[in-house]
């Protein structure tokens, strides 16, 4: 991006919610803020989706209208009729007015003497942003232009439609779970199966071990309400998980051979990228297939959504580790507890766990740079804490402080960079620092990663998983494909997959939530 004149500002909103001017200015390099010609050079705003760069000329009096039109196009969700205009629509077989089974004559659906008003109109929308910021300098401001003009951004409401585009007796639905484990996987699987059966689907299978199950031609797992009735009472995934898998063409070949025409994909950003590619390949081949994603990431790093399933449970389980670290530290002479929590690029778990516990003195996340040594470093503050409190507890996200560790080019099966262990590094640096001072600290290190992600979902996540699973099925039967389902401003919505996988969602250091965390810990800037 080039220099931007104050007389004719052109901002490039890269986060699909748009970025704040304040964030733009903060992200500029110190030497390029404002020069003698009163021009601002913007180095970057978050991370751009480089395939969909959108420039706005604010000198155009119609810029707001054009932006709203562009937003509506981007967030229009793909439908089968976009590719198969002659696709017939049928009366929905999902009706809760009467609980009579589907009749032999499909077109009759669930007979009812009264019209049921439980359907969602295709034109129903949910407002993406609900705060009207008056200034770009407001905490957490997300502004499109320098004046923080209010621009309405509407996205599609999720739920059952009155017309469906698949006959239940012709559907073979498949469910896959990809990536790592996450609390709630079984809850989502269970609810997808139950809702499919309510529509009248008889052929439901699980593909074992994620996308790998398509390549290895592993035996399908037949699913029914009887099979999944109690799976939500335990953690893990009934279907198994894995990273990586065959190429997209081979996956679609396998789907054709198996006769799968509804695919429900549970996974994170990488998994959703695969789901979008499968959707596009099916369209290229002229296959009438619905591909619907359910965002699964314990890190809570999916764009545009309030939260993803498993996150609340992870924060709750993290409390056990933090409390253990606190007890160990508080009970020892000059005790220090270090807890490493999940969060490759986003520090949401560490931030929320610190807030919830009230026992954290220092919270370190990937989004906020810090120094370990020096007059303003973490170790200097830790020394102050031991002198004044006698003990301290540190919470660090796994992706924080990677600049202190030796970099490797190693990748996991999903293509993610293998991170160094920042928790162990901090533990060693603390011991070394205080030993050199001649007054050693008693350091206890806890890494609860696999304990957190392997447990069953709590009540909050259980509800979220249930509704996400139901809405995934509603979306598929409504004829939508290449979409994912999520919760936005407490309402459930459908979003086009490309808009939510551009880059990971991260903690805004200028947000009120991070400010609340700093208020709770009392920590200074470590720079």
3-state SS, 407-461, equals CCCCECCCCCECCCCHHHHHHHHHHHHHHHHCCCCEEEEECCHHHHHCCCCCHHH
Q: Which residues contact 411 (CB under 8 A, 6 or more apart)?
A: 417, 418
pLDDT > 90? residue 339:
yes
Active-site pick, 276, 299, 312, 361? 299
59's tokens: 């000198």
- Look up 299 and say whether it is catalytic: yes
Q: What is the pLDDT of residues 56-112, one digit of tens each?
A: 889 899 999 999 999 999 999 999 999 999 999 999 999 887 665 555 554 445 555
> Please, what is the Cα angle at 493 between 508 and 108, to 5 degrees?
170
pLDDT of residue 418: 80
The per-residue pLDDT of the chain, averaged, comes to 87
Strands (E) across 285-324 are located at: 290-295
pLDDT per residue as tens digits for the range 475-520: 999 999 999 999 999 999 999 999 999 888 999 999 999 999 999 9
210 is in an annotated binding site: no
As a whole number of angstroms, the distance between CA 275 and CA 497 comes to 8
Tens digit of pLDDT for each residue in 20-45? 333 333 333 333 322 333 322 222 23
Lowest mean pLDDT among 48-62, 294-308, 458-472: 48-62
The whole-model pTM stands at: 0.86
> 114 falls in which pLDDT band (50, 70, 90)?
low
Q: How many CB atoms lie within 10 A of CB 379?
A: 20
173: closest CA among 200, 213, 134, 133? 200
C-alpha span between 178 and 474 (Å, rounded): 22
**CA 512/CA 490 separation, integer angstroms:** 19
To the question of whether residue 351 is assigned a binding role by annotation, the answer is no
The Cα–Cα gap between 393 and 327 comes to 10
41 within 8 A of 28, measured Cβ to Cβ: yes
Q: Is 222 left (phi over 0), alpha (psi -120 to 50) or beta?
A: beta
**DSSP 8-class letter at 120:** P
With cut-offs at 50, 70 and 90, classify the pLDDT of residue 17: very low
pLDDT at 6: 31
Q: With cut-offs at 50, 70 and 90, classify the pLDDT of residue 379.
A: very high
Residue 255 among known ligand-binding residues: no
Q: How confident is the model at residue 525 (pLDDT cuts 50, 70, 90)?
A: very high
Length reported for the chain: 527
Tell me if 384 is assigned to a ligand binding site: no
Q: Is 184 marked within a binding site?
A: no
- Alpha carbon distance 194, 496 (integer Å): 25
User: Is residue 307 over pLDDT 90?
Assistant: yes
390 among annotated binding-site residues: no
Q: Which helix (H) or strand (E) holds 495?
A: strand 491-496
Residue partners of 296: CB distance under 8 A and separation at least 6: 177, 178, 179, 182, 184, 185, 188, 266, 267, 268, 271, 308, 309, 310
d(CA 416, CA 396) in angstroms, rounded, equals 20
179: Cα separation from own chain's centroid: 13
Give pLDDT, residue 470. Answer: 98
Question: Is 310 known as a binding-site position?
Answer: no
**Band (115; pLDDT cuts 50, 70, 90):** confident
Classified as helix, coil or strand, 474 is helix
Q: Output phi, psi for 339, to 5 deg.
A: -120, 125
Burial of 352 (0-12, 13-18, 19+ CB in 10 A): buried
Q: Which domains does the chain have, with CATH numbers?
A: 63-108+118-302+457-488 (3.40.50.450), 311-455+510-521 (3.40.50.460)
Taking residues 151-165, what's their average pLDDT? 96
């Amino acid at each position: 991006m080039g220099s931007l004149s104050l007389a004719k500002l052109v901002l490039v909103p890269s986060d699909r919610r748009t970025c704040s001017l304040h964030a733009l200015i903060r992200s500029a390099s110190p030497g390029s803020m404002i020069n003698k010609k009163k021009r601002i050079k913007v180095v970057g705003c978050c991370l751009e989706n480089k395939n969909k760069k959108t420039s706005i000329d604010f000198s155009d009096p119609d810029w707001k209208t054009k932006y709203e039109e562009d937003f509506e196009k981007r967030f229009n969700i793909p439908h089968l009729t976009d590719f198969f205009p002659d696709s017939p629509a049928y009366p929905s077989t999902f009706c809760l007015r009467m609980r009579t089974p589907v009749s032999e004559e499909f077109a009759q659906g669930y007979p009812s003497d009264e019209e049921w008003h439980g359907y969602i109109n295709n034109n129903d929308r949910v407002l993406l942003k609900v705060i009207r910021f008056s200034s770009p300098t407001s905490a957490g401001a997300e502004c499109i232009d320098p004046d923080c003009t209010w621009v309405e951004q509407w996205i599609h409401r999720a739920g059952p439609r009155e017309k469906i585009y698949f006959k239940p007796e012709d559907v073979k639905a498949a469910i896959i779970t990809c990536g790592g484990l996450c609390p709630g996987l079984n809850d989502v699987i269970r609810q997808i199966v139950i809702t499919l059966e309510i529509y009248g689907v008889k052929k439901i299978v699980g593909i074992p071990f994620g996308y790998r199950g398509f390549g290895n031609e592993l035996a399908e797992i037949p699913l029914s309400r009887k099979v999944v009735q109690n799976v939500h009472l335990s953690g893990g995934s009934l279907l198994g998980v894995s990273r990586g898998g065959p190429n997209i063409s081979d996956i679609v070949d396998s789907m054709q051979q198996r006769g799968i025409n509804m695919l429900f994909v549970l996974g994170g950003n990488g998994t959703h990228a695969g789901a979008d590619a499968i959707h596009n390949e099916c369209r290229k081949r002229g296959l009438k297939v619905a591909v619907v994603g359910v965002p699964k990431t314990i890190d809570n790093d999916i764009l545009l959504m309030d939260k993803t399933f498993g996150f609340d449970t992870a924060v709750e389980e993290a409390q056990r580790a933090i409390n253990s670290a606190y007890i160990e530290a508080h009970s020892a002479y000059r005790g220090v507890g270090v807890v490493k929590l999940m969060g490759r690029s986003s520090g949401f778990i560490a931030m929320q766990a610190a807030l919830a516990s009230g026992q954290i003195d220092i919270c370190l996340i990937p989004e906020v740079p810090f120094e370990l040594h020096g007059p303003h470093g973490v170790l200097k503050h830790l020394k102050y804490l031991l002198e004044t409190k006698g003990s301290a507890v540190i919470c660090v996200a796994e992706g924080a402080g990677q600049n202190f560790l030796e970099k490797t080019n190693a990748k996991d099966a999903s293509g993610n960079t293998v991170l160094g262990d920042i928790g162990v590094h901090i533990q060693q640096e603390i011991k070394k620092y205080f030993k050199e001072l001649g007054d050693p600290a008693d350091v206890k290190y806890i890494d609860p990663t696999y304990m957190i992600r392997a447990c069953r979902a709590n009540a909050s996540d259980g509800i979220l998983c249930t509704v996400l699973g139901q809405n995934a099925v509603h979306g598929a039967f409504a004829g939508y494909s290449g979409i994912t389902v999520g919760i936005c401003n407490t309402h459930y919505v459908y979003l086009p997959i490309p808009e939510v996988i551009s880059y990971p969602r991260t903690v805004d250091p200028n947000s009120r939530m991070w400010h609340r965390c700093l208020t709770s810990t009392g920590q200074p800037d470590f720079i």
